């Protein structure tokens, strides 16, 4: 079943490590966990009219003669909107939630495209209004989360759709969306193809196309981007508003390391949904992966619900997409295939109770431990530990217990009452390495 990735135990440990880091940063920032049902009414899923999502319909096998009424969610924003609309009176606003769940899209599977994949979403939703500070906070969160993952340094690229919409208005363009979608492809298709699209495809004057490309080339780590935009000579109120907002966000995050955040005016996000700040991220040396974490500001989470608008700002991390890339290339690896830190060797059936007692004593101190199931020769028991990457084998003996570190082979006498492993060995660790450091025999 292509497009439905599943990990081996050692790969799943890497995924868990990612999810733990994501959760930890989210909670430090005060985001509450949310899990919504996987299934939504189809009427709710199709309400945006976004038919290219390749929805999966769900119905009971015995009800196949009827038209399906349910579908699997294709993102975590549509369920959030429904959840917030239904429970508005029970939530405290601004409502900050993170949500880590699979989503489903019936797309043709290909490199980096899955039909079932895990996303991690963060959103802050206001009731009626939401200060611009939330847009800056989201930059900070994005930077921290992405750089807490065992990956190359990640920078956050910020832009503002009002800049593009105002620019379009000043140039007398009706369909700003078409231009924005073209600019969004700049990385993929290059400047010449975009120019051709603007002039040949959309019928823009060559000078205007040039202005767009000069706008899209602006990329600055400080407020100098404002002067660069102004130097293009295009004037519009909405454009000014966008520059002000973007300046605020950049200024409010200036305490981050130099280069952590860039105003990058080619970032526009294809979705019409976004109305202000938009975010992308770039993984150093892996820019071809695209943006592993993206998002933006929206005016109303659930426009068709009625009541005061629910403005919000959010980002989404493509967890499976990143993992798919770096697990298959063997750049991300876990130090073992199991949480077990100590394998207690079983010398004989008679010593089983004693061995179970050793494992229990270790577990009571927080050391993951298990007893080998059968009293086979020690060589086989040690090999089993080795195959799973378990660092220690414990040998119980009436003459005294001992523990072997099977990486170094050194074996020392120990006491059941107080022996502890190296703290670094308590849990599996996860390592990232550049592609050129992956041994050839391990390459995926």
For a copy of itself, the binding residues in 276-305 under the rule CB under 8 A are none
Q: How far is it, in rounded angstroms, from Cα 397 to Cα 410?
A: 17
Kind and range of the H or E run holding 394: strand 392-395
Question: 118: which strand partners?
Answer: 102
Binding mask 58-77 for a copy of itself (x = CB under 8 A): xxxxx-x--xx--xx-----
The smaller minimum CB distance to a copy of itself, of residues 55 and 218, is found at 55
Residues of this chain, 373-402, that bind a copy of itself according to CB under 8 A: 373-374, 384, 387-388
Please tell me whether residue 424 binds a copy of itself under the rule CB under 8 A.
Answer: no
Q: How far is it, in rounded angstroms, from Cα 182 to Cα 270?
A: 9
Cβ 86 to a copy of itself shortest distance, Å: 9
Positive or negative torsion for Cα 425, 430, 433, 435: positive
Q: Which of 8, 206, 303, 435 binds a copy of itself (CB under 8 A)?
A: 8
The smaller minimum CB distance to a copy of itself, of residues 284 and 374, is found at 374
Angle of helix 206-216 relative to helix 161-170, nearest 10 degrees, comes to 160
What number of chain residues touch a copy of itself (CB under 8 A)?
84
Q: Which two tokens stand for residue 192?
A: 């010449």
Please tell me whether residue 85 binds a copy of itself under the rule CB under 8 A.
Answer: no
Please tell me whether residue 4 binds a copy of itself under the rule CB under 8 A.
Answer: yes
Q: How far is it, in rounded angstroms, from Cα 418 to Cα 396?
A: 15
Residues of this chain, 139-178, that bind a copy of itself according to CB under 8 A: 140
Residues of this chain, 302-331, that bind a copy of itself according to CB under 8 A: none
Cβ 423 to a copy of itself shortest distance, Å: 16
Q: Which stretch binds a copy of itself (CB under 8 A): 169-177, 179-187, 333-341, 414-422?
A: 333-341
Q: Which stretch binds a copy of itself (CB under 8 A): 87-95, 184-192, 289-297, 304-312?
A: 87-95
Q: How far is it, in rounded angstroms, from Cα 366 to Cα 356?
A: 15
Closest CA to 170 of 229, 215, 233, 236: 236
Please tell me whether residue 338 binds a copy of itself under the rule CB under 8 A.
Answer: yes
Closest CA to 290 of 314, 270, 276: 270
Under DSSP, is residue 283 helix (H, G, I), strand (E, B) or coil? strand
Q: How many residues does the chain have?
A: 444
Please tell me whether residue 18 binds a copy of itself under the rule CB under 8 A.
Answer: no
Residues of this chain, 94-123, that bind a copy of itself according to CB under 8 A: 94, 96-97, 102, 104, 106, 116
């Amino acid at each position: 079943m292509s497009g439905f990735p599943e990990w081996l135990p050692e790969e799943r440990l890497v995924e868990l490590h990612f999810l733990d880091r994501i959760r930890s940063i989210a909670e430090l920032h005060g985001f509450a966990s949310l899990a919504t049902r996987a299934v939504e009414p189809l009427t709710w899923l199709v309400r945006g009219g976004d038919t290219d999502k390749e929805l999966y319909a769900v119905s009971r096998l015995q009800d196949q003669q009827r038209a399906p009424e349910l579908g699997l969610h294709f993102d975590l924003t549509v369920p959030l909107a429904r959840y917030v609309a239904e429970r508005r009176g029970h939530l405290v606003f601004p409502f900050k939630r993170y949500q880590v769940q699979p989503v489903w899209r019936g797309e043709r599977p290909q490199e980096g495209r899955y039909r079932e994949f895990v996303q991690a979403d963060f959103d802050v939703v206001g009731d009626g209004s939401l200060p611009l500070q939330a847009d800056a906070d989201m930059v900070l969160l994005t930077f921290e989360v992405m750089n807490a993952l065992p990956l190359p340094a990640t920078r956050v690229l910020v832009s503002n759709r009002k800049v593009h919409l105002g620019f379009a208005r000043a140039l007398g363009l009706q369909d700003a969306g078409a231009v924005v979608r073209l600019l969004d492809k700049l990385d993929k298709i290059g400047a010449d193809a975009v120019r051709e699209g603007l002039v040949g495809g959309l019928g823009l004057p060559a000078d205007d196309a040039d202005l767009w490309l000069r706008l899209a080339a602006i990329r600055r780590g400080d407020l100098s981007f404002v002067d660069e935009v102004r130097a293009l000579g295009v004037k519009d109120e909405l454009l000014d508003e966008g520059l002000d907002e973007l300046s605020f966000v950049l200024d409010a995050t200036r305490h981050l390391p130099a280069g952590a955040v860039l105003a990058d005016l080619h970032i526009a996000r294809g979705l019409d949904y976004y109305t202000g700040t938009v975010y992308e991220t770039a993984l150093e040396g892996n820019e071809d992966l695209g943006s592993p974490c993206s998002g933006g500001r929206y005016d109303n989470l659930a426009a068709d619900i009625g009541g005061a608008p629910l403005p919000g700002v959010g980002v989404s991390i493509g967890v499976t997409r990143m993992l798919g890339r770096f697990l298959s290339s063997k750049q991300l690896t876990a130090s073992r295939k199991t949480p077990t830190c100590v394998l207690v060797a079983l010398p004989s059936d008679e010593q089983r109770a004693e061995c179970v007692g050793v494992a229990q004593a270790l577990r009571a101190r927080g050391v993951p431990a298990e007893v080998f199931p059968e009293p086979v020769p020690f060589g086989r028991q040690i090999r089993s530990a080795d195959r799973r990457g378990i660092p220690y084998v414990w040998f119980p003996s009436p003459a005294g217990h001992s523990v072997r570190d099977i990486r170094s082979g050194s074996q020392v006498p120990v006491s059941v009452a107080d022996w502890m492993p190296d703290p670094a060995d308590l849990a599996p660790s996860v390592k990232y390495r550049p592609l050129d450091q992956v041994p050839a025999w391990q390459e995926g």
